[in-house]
Amino acid sequence: MKTPTVLISEADLQRRVSEMAQQIEADYAASERFIALGILKGSVFFMVDLLKQISLPLVVDFFQTSSYRDSTVPGELRIRKDIDLSIRGADVLLVEDIVDTGYTLRTVLDLMRFRNARSVKLCALLDKVSRRQVEVSIDYRGFEIEDVFVVGYGLDYADLYRNLPYVGVLPRTEET
């Protein structure tokens, strides 16, 4: 396994995640039903750090999509594991590791609205804005990054590297 070079350090991640948590806590203080929905598996590390710093009553659920990259039609997204809770009337905060082309989030945001959530907002740690193909508005954004493939803090390459405490870039070689 190659050692990635650090793009966003653990300290910078923790500092930014704390700021985001404070902002979310202020914005959701009056919510009567606050649901944090994580998209498996990438969002998990970020989501845990974020939610531990929010002291409002909230519930947590997850769903998993199968990437359009596995499918023949670009933009086609399948729900591999759906949420268990009803989101009708709830204030939904979607938590995602990274927004790249935007297809994943566009589809998921539309689905949540269709299910009659009271509000749906998006919190994404990373934003590769130069790669966007469909418009997605990010309500809480950790960092904007260049078009580089990143791993760590939940993000994977072939399911590895998720447990790195920082966000890094893999060296470009034939093997990676």
Strand partners, 6: 168
Alpha-carbon gap, residue 70 to 104, rounded angstroms? 12
Q: How far is the CB of 41 from ligand IMP (least distance, A)?
A: 8
Q: Is 100 a catalytic residue?
A: yes
152 binds, among Mg ion, ligand IMP, none (CB under 5 to 8 A by kind): none
Q: Contacting ligand IMP (CB under 6 A), which of 93, 100, 152, 170?
A: 100
Interface characters, 6-45, with ligand IMP (x: CB under 6 A): ------------------------------------x---
Residue 170 contacts ligand IMP per CB under 6 A: no
CB 61 within 8 A of CB 33: no
Place of tokens 């760590």: 152
Q: Distance between CA atoms of 122 and 93, rounded to whole angstroms? A: 6
Q: Find the shortest distance in angstroms from Cβ 120 to ligand IMP.
A: 16
- Residue 168's binding partner among ligand IMP, Mg ion, none (Cβ under 5 to 8 angstroms by kind) is none
CA–CA separation, 170 and 176 (whole Å): 7
| CA angle at 18 for the pair 168 and 169, rounded to the nearest 5° | 5
Using CB under 6 A, list all residues that contact ligand IMP. Answer: 42, 96-105, 149-151, 155
The catalytic site residues sit at 100
